């Protein structure tokens, strides 16, 4: 049997080559636990407002069907949010990249998605470096997304496979994030790392400030940087919130994506007319849109989950499929300050107005750790060797 570094070396050789059918994936956590988390979220009590049963952010992308639905949504002309985010990314990144002070950095992408943005970032980070001196760690909860995103990210780039370590884990889980930091330190030592959370992914989390605090606090060392991309709104009022909801409601592909998880993991008969987009203004910080699936059949439905257990889904009850936000400039400033992250620089796409007067766009912000907490090593037992 081939073991240890010799085995890894041979594995790298097998993975290399443009026509290799293989992709590597380091699984960072117990998938059966994730499965039971999703089931218990669907057993939450009755709520007419989308505050009971829900699909947590990562699970929207978990299976093959959801991954494909996301890929289609990203290129939908009627869903400008992600399409514009992807198309305008290279230009915004060019300005940010100049502020990375020329330091060679490794790259850890939290939520790789379709991989185009990672390709743009890697292309810049590899310039002027020895082949093999750049480590790329794409991280995603969805194995299908990870495979697809990694392939797209590496297309046309001549990165040796030994420097590519895709990791499947839930970055909303603090234990997993601490383990990720240990893994990255095993891979790169003290060399500086650029982390990213792009595509307005942060806005999908109920406690967005808590997630950013946890990620920057657990991952960033003084020499590291964090690239955050979020959606922006020029105004925070009811009209703007309705415009934001309309942006999502107008895309049939987005509706297919957002219902794909309940289609895959329950036996619910999906009626697209039952997908509702509920706009609101969240304090003085963001426009918020909750996308819910409402039982409008007039009677109680019994949902069957993949473990064959049944869940009552009464008339009027909802399943929250997704939460999203667009932040005001002041709201974003407060979010960053509350998360204890210091802004190095920021670029904004032009603010477009889609269905009304309000300007919407994307901000790309480069962050560094603020305060002393970032210097502390995470307190826990040493990580197991992922290849052991
Ligand atoms: C909105 S997409 C953004 C994709 C990409 N970063 C971009 O900007 O185009 C969110 C991505 O994050 C992943 N994701 C969402 N929640 C996650 C979680 N809790 N843990 C790991 N990955 C997650 C999804 O699978 C998806 O690939």
pLDDT digits (tens, 9 = 90+) for 19-35: 677 878 898 888 888 88
* Ligand 1 and 261: CB distance under 6 A: no
* Ligand 1 and 61: CB distance under 6 A: yes
Atom of ligand 1 nearest to the CA of 74: 9
Question: Would you state the pLDDT for residue 28?
Answer: 84
* Ligand 1 and 171: CB distance under 6 A: yes
Give yes or no for a contact between 286 and 203, defined as CB atoms under 8 angstroms apart: yes
Give yes or no for a contact between 246 and 278, defined as CB atoms under 8 angstroms apart: no
Distances, alpha carbon 346 to alpha carbons 96, 191, 227, 269, 367, in Å: 7, 24, 10, 44, 9
Give yes or no for a contact between 160 and 132, defined as CB atoms under 8 angstroms apart: yes
Question: Would you state the pLDDT for residue 322?
Answer: 96
* Ligand 1 and 67: CB distance under 6 A: no
* Ligand 1 and 118: CB distance under 6 A: no
Which DSSP symbol is given to 161? Answer: G
Tens-digit pLDDT profile for residues 164-219: 999 999 999 999 999 999 999 999 999 999 999 999 999 999 999 999 999 999 99
**What values do phi and psi take at 12, rounded to 5?**
-60, -40
Give the global pTM: 0.91
Residue closest via CA to ligand 1's atom 7 equals: 199
Give yes or no for a contact between 319 and 42, defined as CB atoms under 8 angstroms apart: yes
* Ligand 1 and 84: CB distance under 6 A: no
Tens-digit pLDDT profile for residues 93-114: 999 998 887 889 999 999 999 9
| Count of beta carbons in the 10 Å neighbourhood of residue 81 | 23
- DSSP string across 133-173: ---EEEEES-HHHHHHHHHHHHTT----GGGB--EE--TT-
- Mean model confidence pLDDT for the chain: 89
Q: Compute the distance from residue 29 Cα to the ligand 1 centre, in Å.
A: 17
Q: What is the β-pairing status of strands 225-233 and 360-369?
A: antiparallel
> What burial letters (b/e) apply to 87-102, b meaning 16+ CB within 10 Å?
ebbeebbeebbeebee
Tens-digit pLDDT profile for residues 294-339: 999 999 999 999 888 999 999 999 999 999 999 999 999 999 999 9
Atom of ligand 1 nearest to the CA of 89: 8
Residue 38 has pLDDT above 70, yes or no: yes
* Ligand 1 and 113: CB distance under 6 A: yes
* Ligand 1 and 198: CB distance under 6 A: yes
Q: Compute the distance from residue 301 Cα to the ligand 1 centre, in Å.
A: 31
The pair of structure tokens assigned to 93 is 């990144």
* Ligand 1 and 347: CB distance under 6 A: no
Q: Is 222 exposed, middle or buried (0-12, 13-18, 19+ CB in 10 A)?
A: exposed
Three-state DSSP at 159 gives coil
> Could you tell which of 140, 172, 195, 253 is best to mutate to test the pocket of ligand 1, judged by most ligand atoms within 8 Å of the CB?
140
């Amino acid at each position: 049997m081939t073991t240890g570094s010799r085995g890894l070396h041979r594995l790298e050789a097998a993975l290399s080559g443009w026509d290799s059918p293989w992709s590597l994936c380091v699984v960072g956590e117990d998938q059966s636990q994730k499965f039971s988390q999703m089931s218990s979220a669907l057993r939450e009590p009755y709520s007419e407002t989308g505050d009971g049963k829900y699909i947590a952010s990562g699970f929207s992308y978990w299976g093959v069907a959801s991954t494909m639905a996301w890929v289609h949504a990203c290129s939908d002309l009627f869903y400008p949010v992600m399409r514009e985010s992807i198309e305008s990314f290279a230009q915004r990144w060019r300005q940010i990249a100049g502020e990375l002070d020329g330091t060679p950095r490794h790259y850890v992408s939290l939520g790789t998605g379709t991989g185009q943005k990672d390709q743009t970032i890697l292309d810049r980070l590899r310039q002027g470096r020895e082949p093999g001196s750049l480590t790329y760690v794409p991280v995603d909860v969805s194995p299908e997304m990870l495979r697809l995103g990694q392939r797209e990210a590496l297309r046309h780039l001549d990165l040796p496979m030994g420097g590519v370590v895709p990791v499947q884990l839930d970055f909303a889980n603090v234990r997993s994030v601490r383990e990720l930091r240990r893994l990255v330190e095993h891979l790169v030592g003290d060399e500086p790392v650029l982390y990213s959370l792009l595509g307005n992914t942060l806005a999908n989390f109920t406690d967005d400030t808590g997630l950013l605090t946890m990620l920057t606090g657990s991952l960033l060392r003084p020499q590291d940087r964090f690239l955050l991309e979020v959606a922006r709104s020029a105004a925070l009022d009811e009209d703007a919130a309705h415009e934001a909801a309309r942006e999502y409601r107008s895309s049939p592909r987005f509706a297919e994506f957002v219902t794909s998880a309940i289609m895959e993991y329950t036996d619910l008969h999906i009626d697209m007319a039952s997908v509702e987009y509920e706009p609101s203004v969240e304090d003085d910080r963001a426009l918020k849109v909750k996308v819910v699936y409402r039982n409008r059949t007039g009677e109680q439905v019994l949902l069957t989950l993949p473990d064959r257990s049944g869940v009552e889904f009464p008339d009027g009850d909802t399943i929250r499929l997704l939460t999203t936000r667009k932040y005001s400039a002041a709201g974003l400033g407060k979010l960053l300050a509350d998360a204890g992250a210091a802004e190095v620089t920021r670029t904004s796409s032009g603010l477009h107005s889609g269905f009304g007067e309000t300007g919407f766009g994307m901000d790309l912000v480069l962050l560094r750790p603020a305060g002393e907490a970032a210097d502390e090593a995470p307190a826990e037992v040493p990580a197991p060797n992922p290849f052991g």
